[in-house]
Amino acid sequence: MAAHTVQGFFTPGFLGRLERLSLVSRRPFRGRVKGERRSPRKGQSVEFFDYRPYGVGDDLRYVDWNIFGRLDRLHVKLFLDEEDLRVHLLLDASASMGFASKLAHAARLAAALGFVALVNLERVGAAVLRESIAEGWPPTRGRSHFVTLLEFLSRIQPGGATGLNGALESYAARSREPGVAIVLSDLLDPTGYETGLRALVERRFDVHVVHILAPEEVNPPFSGDLRLIDGETGEARELTLDGEALRVYRQRLQDFLDRAEGFCRAREIGYRRVVTDTPVEEFMLAELKGLILA
């Protein structure tokens, strides 16, 4: 069962390439236990980092008496601190994500990112977003938990209305520890997503958005008289998709994409978009390397 679950998501070769990667955090986070991630902070771990002049209140145990003997000045030793990074995988599973397998693609991306974090002994948690936080996978460390993460992600089914602002605000408020938050969504919420993303930033999460698109959304393969039904509200609309209507649609789509990217860039939120006909392996190793992965 475990081997079948893994093979259904990834090839052994791809997992081997992921094992050589690690997650990039643009902010230092202090975890509850010692991890394997080197922090830019200076702490008291076993690896020496530098010296600095002694200051009132410094611990005399860390004074370098050899330097004092040579220079007649007090200096204390500094050490590289290590931190345990928390990775938050936030997966939009509203009904719109069921179109053209967007949710399945997002789940595979989340699984790949989770694998990278788990093999590097980071703590990984996941949450399913709809109108609110629907369910979650508790924060866990260690590669032995990868199969259970895959099983959790593979069970998620699209459904319900989108409520990104409320769900993300709630998640930000409830999370006891910030960390790297990766939001995988099509951002198709008529009430917006901006307030929710701002809530994560304000709680000092290092936020990244992976914007999921279907090929049919980028280049609609339809024409003529159509009756479109909103997958979340059930609202129906009839239209004629001719050359002019297609031109207007593409312009509005581009405006939507530009607004999303511009909003993220202005707030130092990492942003990448992916169309679901792009292989997960290609996107992970080409587009996310340098942004989330190193």
| 94-153: pLDDT as tens digits | 999 999 999 999 999 999 999 999 998 899 999 999 988 878 999 998 989 999 999 999
pTM (whole model) above 0.85: no
* Cα 37 to Cα 113: distance, rounded to the nearest angstrom: 16
pLDDT at 28: 65
Q: Per residue in 74-101, pLDDT tens?
A: 887 765 555 568 999 999 999 999 999 9
Nearest alpha-carbon partner for 64 in 56, 55, 74: 74
* Cα 79 to Cα 49: distance, rounded to the nearest angstrom: 5
Q: Is the pLDDT of residue 2 over 70?
A: no
Q: Is the pLDDT of residue 40 over 60?
A: no
- The pLDDT > 70 percentage for the chain reads 86
Domain range 2-27+85-287, CATH architecture: 3-Layer(aba) Sandwich (3.40)
Higher pLDDT, 9 or 130: 130
Q: Per residue in 222-245, pLDDT tens?
A: 777 778 777 777 778 788 888 898
What are the residue boundaries of the structural domains of the chain, listed by start? 2-27+85-287, 38-83
